[in-house]
Amino acid sequence: MHDVHASPLTYTKPASVRDHVTRASRLASAVAALTAAYHGRSGVCLLPHGFDAFSTRVHSARLAQTSIDVQTYIWRDDATGRFIARELLLAADRGVRVRVLIDDMDARPRDLALAALDAHPNIDVRVFNPFRTRSGLLRTIAELSQRGKRLNHRMHNKSWIVDRAIAISGGRNLGNEYFASAESMNFIDLDVLMLGPAVEKTAREFDAYWNCSLAVSIAHLRKYSRRTIDPAKYRLRLEQHAREAMAAEYARMLDEQNGLTVLLDRRYVWSADVRVVADHPSKALGAGSIASHVLDSMVEEIRAASREVLLISPYFVPGMGGTAALRSLALQGANVEVLTNSLAATDVAVVHSGYAKYRRPLLEAGVRIYELKAAAVIDEHPSRFRVGSSRASLHTKAAVIDAERVFVGSFNIDPRSAELNCEMGVWVRSAALAQELALRFREGTHPLRAFELQVTPDGKLTWIDRDGDAMHVHHREPHASSWRRAISKILGALPIESLL
């Protein structure tokens, strides 16, 4: 395969925005009828369950009549990933305009499939901050040596927008482990489903990324390649996957539901204060002066807190500044609590090495820290996929501030999210939503699901493991192998925190 010789930044393409809706789709009409009574407020509800997050996406795609916009960091070539690809093709067959924007960290292995999707006249696929080299280990290493600083900046945003009527945003990528359907390990994750003005705000952020110079057509990237896949063969492959046992089970469960009911018959909270925040795409250029709008919003909200801060972050490396801010709040009497992954549960052990050194100073100031157990039970509706693993890893990125302000997004509290990746999130002022998310936090920190960390009077770190009436005290990272502990300790001594 030949490299793409022209720099992606020299690629010129027509700007595009969502088509103006020339006819009211069934979904848009139903949403308009629901929102009319709320006078400009946005409806927001949490999507904590894997199957629910999957079904909302599929049902909205099936109801789409004008447009579907998808922005993602990862799109797996697995059962749920293929199911979604087939739904996008079927929507495009009906005349729906589909736009897919995917970060190139995951896109390169899926070049052929993405190009086959892009071949449909109603589907456009763009890749964010692409490698010029599309395959080959040596060529990739060579490009990383020349452009590694730039390529280390990725688009971590996630959004799903249909007919300018509904939007989904949060932490989930597209793949089995994000929808509680993987056999080895599943993520505890969270999205928000939005109606009303927040949808337009989400759509504007999508357009900003879609039209930036870093978003390059997959057709442009593939034009030097000899390898292709015939779109008809790719469609046939998706149809074959649709007949496999897992996909057939998904289809059966979805067919038992009414799409509009799934999307609209929910306990929405209605708020006039819903902020969709996203970093400017130029942050991926690596310019040090580009601010992180998501980080700034998080800092602003935490500084304004007076009573309570609940943080959920799978990768938690608060740094000196974040540690000082959380310590200060706790020392002033605020309740500050953090839920993150244990070393045994995390899927990125190197990040855990950066987090470990901040535990003791936070605990000593009164911050309560919980670490998710690898064997934590994932709560699902009775209609869950029933094929997923019981092993869990935290992937939710969320916060509750003073029992009235809620954040859900893609932003981890770590240097990578703050300085390197483009991120997005949603802030909602709602006591009801804050109460619901706080309940989720309490479920996540329940002794059956998480260790509570403490510091002994002589300064030693311990993990409290409660199982019913029994209590065990661990004096080293619980349930993690000796090898994992050793690697984490070694990595913690290296000057790599800015990359975590």
Q: H or E element: which one contains 405?
A: strand 405-409
DSSP bridge partners of 310: 337, 400
User: Encoding tokens for residue 84?
Assistant: 């979604």
Nearest Cα to Cα of residue 394 among 461, 447, 348: 348
Q: What is the DSSP letter of 267?
A: -
**Cα distances (angstroms) measured from residue 162 to each of 58, 189, 203, 448:** 11, 21, 9, 38
Cα 127 from chain centroid? Answer: 17
Q: Which residue in 49, 153, 158, 283 is the catalytic one?
A: 158
Q: What is the Cα Rg of the chain in Å?
A: 22
Cβ neighbours of residue 457 closer than 8 Å, sequence gap 6 or more: none
Q: Which residue in 52, 395, 414, 465 is the catalytic one?
A: 395
DSSP bridge partners of 409: 425
Cβ neighbours of residue 334 closer than 8 Å, sequence gap 6 or more: 305, 306, 307, 308, 309
Q: Which residue in 153, 156, 201, 293 is the catalytic one?
A: 156
Whether residue 172 contacts residue 156, with contact meaning beta carbons closer than 8 Å, is answered with no
CA distance 172 to 73: 9
- Say if residue 144 is exposed, middle or buried (CB neighbours under 10 Å; 0-12, 13-18, 19+): middle
- Say if residue 468 is exposed, middle or buried (CB neighbours under 10 Å; 0-12, 13-18, 19+): exposed
CA distance 386 to 181: 7
Identify each DSSP E strand in 320-397 by its residue range.
335-341, 368-372, 392-394
Q: Which residue in 52, 103, 111, 163 is the catalytic one?
A: 163
User: Is residue 397 among the annotated active site residues?
Assistant: yes
DSSP bridge partners of 71: 101, 159
Nearest Cα to Cα of residue 313 among 392, 372, 396: 396
Q: Which residue in 207, 347, 379, 402 is the catalytic one?
A: 402
Whether residue 164 contacts residue 199, with contact meaning beta carbons closer than 8 Å, is answered with yes
User: Is residue 106 among the annotated active site residues?
Assistant: no
Q: What is the DSSP letter of 46?
A: E
Residues 481-489: contacts with CB under 8 Å, at least 24 apart: 484/343, 484/344, 484/349, 485/343, 487/349, 487/353, 488/343, 488/349, 488/350, 488/352, 488/353, 488/356, 489/353
User: Is residue 158 among the annotated active site residues?
Assistant: yes
Compute the C-alpha angle 25/59/273, nearest 5°: 75
User: Is residue 156 among the annotated active site residues?
Assistant: yes
> Residue written as tokens 């149809």?
239
Active site residues: 156, 158, 163, 395, 397, 402
